[in-house]
Amino acid sequence: MSNMLTTTSPAGLELIEAISRHLAEPEWASAHRKEAWSRFLQAPTPSRTHEHWRRTDISHLDLENITPRLPSEYRALPEWLEAVIRRGARRIGGTLAFVDGTLVHEHVTDSLRKKGVIFTSWSQAIQRHPDLVRRAIENVDYDPADEKFTAMARAYATGGTVLIVPRGTEVTLPLQTFFAASEAQAVFPHTLVILEEDSRVTLLDGMFSPDSSTRAFGSGVADLILGDGSELTYVLFQQWGQGMEYFHHQRAVLGRDSHLTTITVALGASLSKATIESVLCSSGAVSDMLGVVFGDDKQHFDHHTVQLHTVGNTTSDLLFKVALDEASYSAYSGLIRIEPGAQKANAYQRNENLVLSSTAHAETLPNLEIEANDVRCTHGATVAPVDIEQMFYLMSRGMAPRDAKRLIVEGFLQPVLDRIPAKSLREMVSAKVDEKIAHRRF
């Protein structure tokens, strides 16, 4: 492993070693952690002069001094989180819940176990399925633009989910993980999904913390690996409390004829920045990316999507819907990139912004980089207020202006939420979105 470690602060290194010891990690896992940590120290803290970071100012963060809590032996499920789980989706194949990186709740149905599906915490997966996990993380790609945060997340990861679905297995009931943070904590959620050939599953990662203005920090990574012919629906449901500043990097690698649907729902946190990337590197791969953002107060959202077609005969579609109220801000930037030789790639990208107040601020940057000619690539972006004619129609039916506006916002976001395939998850997420809309005074 790297000897760059010698030049670094011993406190950080000790903490990394303590986490490794605590989780009784094998040598390779702890080496992976240390490499991530040395990368974290080496990578410069991104500044606004970097294109990828131009719209999000993090100069107030002292990243080197943000550290996670050591995982504890046992921590009780906090009441508020229990309520979230209880009020959450029914008909679920399995649930994991972490608080500040410690596993507090684990439920997996017997039928899932019998099928050989692995759905467990990161530390248990390393013990029980070392070869599979090792192979997956050895191929981890550190995106240079996000390296400071992804390396940090990999170095400090305590809680995390590993989901491995064996060849040909279809998991009918959706799975869910809750990552929760207590007040003033730093959390590093980590998700690894490996779908073997022709398998199929739906997973939701939910992110919650108490709605306190106390500052909290999170940096998460999700690695999604889709084997040939597999189908994954991945829902990232971000409802952190208002004090949270959260950074997320999601990267999916799509095998031949695989089909990925990712649905990003961002409601919470004072600042959240996410990169959502699909790498279509085998013929026949299909990636559908969907997003819903609803901001109010002074929330700051910065979403970056990447549809990377490295080979031909691949298809990607994207729809990102953003509604902004009060003084909230959203930057959406998306890249469709078709590499040389990726003929017959088909890519679409659409970003719609609904601006509900004159102090809200929307930025959209849909980018295309095309290096093959036999392709069809199209993108569109719009920024507009609530349609006066729709308002007029609803009000002429006797609806109060604020109710009409609520209905229009719901109607704007709903088409994306409707694409969540599992009914139980769809209802849960829709209810949370409606809840936030209903709280708005407009």
Partner 1 sequence: MTAPQSLLDVGTEYQYGFRDEIEYVYKAEKGLNRRVVEMISHFKNEPDWMREFRLRALEIFFKKPMPTWGNTKLLSEINFDDIYYYIKPAEKQGKTWEEVPETIKNTFEKLGIPEAERKFLAGVSAQYESEVVYHSIREDLERQGVIFLDMDSGLREYPDLVRRWFGKVVPPGDNKFAALNSAVWSGGSFIYVPPGVHVEIPLQAYFRINAENMGQFERTLIIADEGSRVHYIEGCTAPIYSTDSLHSAVVELVALKGAHIRYTTVQNWSKNVYNLVTKRAVAYEDATVEWVDGNLGSKLTMKYPSVYMVGKGARGDILSVAFAGPGQHQDAGAKMIHAAPYTTSTVISKSISKGGGRTTYRGLVQVDEGAVGVKCNVRCDALLLDEYSRSDTYPTMNVKEDDVRIEHEATVSKVGEEQLFYLMSRGLSEQEAVTMIINGFFEPFAKELPLEYAVELNRLIALEMEGSVG
Q: Which residues bind partner 1 (CB under 8 A)?
A: 49, 51, 340-341, 343, 353, 355-385
Nearer to partner 1, 16 or 355 (CB): 355
Give the CB-side neighbour count of residue 42, counting CA atoms within 13 A.
16
Choice between 236 and 342, CB closer to partner 1 = 342
CB of 80 to partner 1, least distance (A): 35
Q: Which of 285, 134, 266 is nearest to 205 (CA)?
A: 266
Shortest distance, position 234 Cβ to partner 1, whole Å: 28
In angstroms, what is the minimal distance from the CB of 39 to partner 1? 23
Among residues 49 and 59, whose Cβ is nearest to partner 1? 49
- Distance (Å) of CA 345 to CA 213, 285, 381: 46, 10, 21
User: Look-up: residue for tokens 């997420």?
Assistant: 429
- Taking the CB of residue 367, how many other CB atoms lie within 10 A of it? 14
CB 365 within 8 A of CB 334: yes
Using alpha carbons, list the distances in angstroms from residue 21 to 15, 122, 158: 10, 14, 12
Minimum distance, C-beta of residue 255 to partner 1, in the bound complex (Å): 25
Residue entry with tokens 């829709």: 430
Closest separation in Å from C-beta 12 to partner 1: 31
How many Å apart are CA 263 and CA 390, to the nearest integer?
Answer: 27
Q: Give how far Cα 166 sits from Cα of 112, 133, 163, 194, 335, Å.
A: 11, 14, 10, 9, 32
Taking the least distance from each CB to partner 1, the nearer of 270 and 364 is 364
Q: Among residues 51 and 141, whose Cβ is nearest to partner 1?
A: 51
Query: Residue 203 pairs with which residues in a beta bridge?
Result: 175, 234
Residue 221 has a CB neighbour count (10 Å cut-off) of 28
Report in angstroms how near the CB of residue 386 gets to partner 1 at its nearest. Answer: 8
Residue 259 CB neighbour total at 10 angstroms:
18
Residue 39 three-state SS: helix
- The pairing of strands 244-254 and 271-280 is parallel
Give the distance from CA 295 to its chain's centroid.
17
Between 44 and 340, name the residue whose CB sits nearer to partner 1.
Answer: 340
Q: 200 vs 361, which CB is nearer to partner 1? A: 361
Paired with 162 in beta bridges are 120, 192
Nearest approach in angstroms of CB 357 to partner 1 is 6
For residues 4 and 372, which CB has a smaller minimum distance to partner 1 in the complex?
372
Find, among 406, 437, 432, 407, the residue nearest to 420 by Cα: 432
Which one, 164 or 355, has the nearer CB to partner 1? Answer: 355
Task: Quote the least distance from Cβ 362 to partner 1, whole Å.
Answer: 5
Closest distance to partner 1 from the beta carbon of 345 (Å):
10
CB of 359 to partner 1, least distance (A): 8
Q: Are 291 and 416 in contact (CB under 8 A)?
A: yes
